[in-house]
Structure 1
Amino acid sequence: MIQPHGLILAGGRATRMGGGDKGRLPLAGRTLVDRVIATLAPQVDRLALNANGDPDRWSDLCLPVLPDDLPEQPGPLAGVLAGLDWAAGLGCPHIVTAAADTPFLPPDLVPRLLDAAGPSGLALAATQEGQKTWPQPTFGLWPTALRHDLRAALEGGTRKILHWTDRHGAGLAVFPTEPWDPFFNVNTPEDLARAEAMA
């Protein structure tokens, strides 16, 4: 199987952190996005960043910067679509996405998503707490063959990831939450303080 390309989703507005690029926040000597790159890059064939605004502010990362190509930045699905179009142009059949503000990603995220792929080729990461499974929808395996369907859904008003992935029978790759949640993300200053303690 062709190794997927990777896409780091950094297109959010970070309103609960006061704006700016959350991925640039420092955590124990490295930025959040640097930690994501360090974990994801060895698992994929190549890597890009989804971000809006001036791409030059990310130039030090030496990654392609893919903006949303839909108006009004309609959420992470638009970033996924940008990544799918990019990968399709390079002849890659799928991408794996991760959020830029999640510093504790699993080192086996990609192989486990590949193993969990549903009939359409889609898979999402999930965590298990007791008897409850919680999808982590910004961490997924996405086939480029579905990009036209995704574009039509976005243009039709779909915004929630699970509304779209449920229609396509996405598989789930379930990860434990001990000793910590591997998909813990930094949304607030309190989250950053908690991440510092975890790191």
Structure 2
Amino acid sequence: MVLPPDAVGFCAIVLAGGRAARLDGADKASVEYLGRTLLEHALEALLDAAEVVVVGDPVPTTRPVTFVRESPRYGGPVAGLLTGRDALVRVPRTLGVLAVDMPRVTSWTFRRLYEAAAGHDGAFLTDAEGHRQLAGVLDPARLDEVRPDHEGQHGMALRRLLSGLDLVDVPPEGDEGRDVDTWADLRDLGPDL
């Protein structure tokens, strides 16, 4: 793949625009865990990213990011991912994607994903049972090749979008593959280890 001269190594998208129905509609980005918002945890995990786009409503952050919303709202992870991709100013070699509700994902997680993706179209973290989570890295050119038209993005399952790509599944270390869908999930994460 030939990259333009302004390409940077790593840019990322945080998916934070869901309904959070099982969290009583709370804005997941603003939910606190260990004294910081879930969004701040996500941004710390993406510390190596040259640019971060957050797909969700704007909330205060300690790091400069771009906030965007998918159209129509609540279009699901594919619409969020592609909206975030379109909002990037830079041209990345590697595109990271992270759901805002995975506070145990770290920059080390993304380094492992990046290494696992070598020679493939990308890599995604799994949970303890081997189910793919919304934490991964992708070759943005390959993502562009499988991109559906705008109408086809709304409600599309991410696994369907990525089904034609050569992806590596990376097992979690500790609790990094856990997400927060309910208040009980947040409580059960417990203190940082």
Query: Which runs of structure 2 are paired with 1:159-170 in the superposition (5 Å)?
Result: 159-170=156-167
1:6 equivalent among 9, 12, 17: 12
Structure-1 residue corresponding to 2:149: 152
Uncovered stretches (5+) of structure 1, i.e. residues with no partner: none
Pick which of 103-112 and 11-20 moved more: 103-112
CA distance in 1, matches of 2:33, 2:42: 12
Q: Offset of 1:104 from its aligned partner? A: 0.9
Does residue 134 (structure 1) correspond to residue 139 (structure 2)? The answer is no
Query: Which runs of structure 2 are paired with 1:1-199 in the superposition (5 Å)?
Result: 2-41=8-47, 43-52=48-57, 55=58, 57-58=59-60, 62-68=64-70, 70-87=71-88, 89-117=89-117, 121-129=121-129, 133-136=130-133, 138-145=134-141, 146-147=143-144, 149-152=146-149, 155=152, 159-176=156-173, 178=174, 181-195=175-189, 197-199=190-192
Uncovered stretches (5+) of structure 2, i.e. residues with no partner: 1-6
- The percent identity for this pair of structures is 23
Pick which of 93-102 and 8-17 moved more: 93-102
* Alignment root-mean-square deviation, CA: 2.6
Amino acid corresponding to residue 191 of structure 2 in structure 1: M
Amino acid corresponding to residue 142 of structure 1 in structure 2: L
Q: 1:96-134 deviations in whole A, cap 9, x for unaligned?
A: 0111121111332222222222766222112454xxx32
Q: Quick check: which one's helix share is greater?
A: 1
* CA contact 1:158–1:164 (8 Å) conserved in 2: no
Q: How many residues align?
A: 185
Q: 1:77-102 deviations in whole A, cap 9, x for unaligned?
A: 11111222233x42223310111121
CA distance in 1, matches of 2:68, 2:85: 10
Q: 1:160-187 deviations in whole A, cap 9, x for unaligned?
A: 11122122222222223x3xx2022222
Pick which of 162-171 and 3-12 moved more: 162-171
Amino acid corresponding to residue 74 of structure 2 in structure 1: Q
Q: 1:27-65 deviations in whole A, cap 9, x for unaligned?
A: 222122112222222x2222221115xx3x446653110
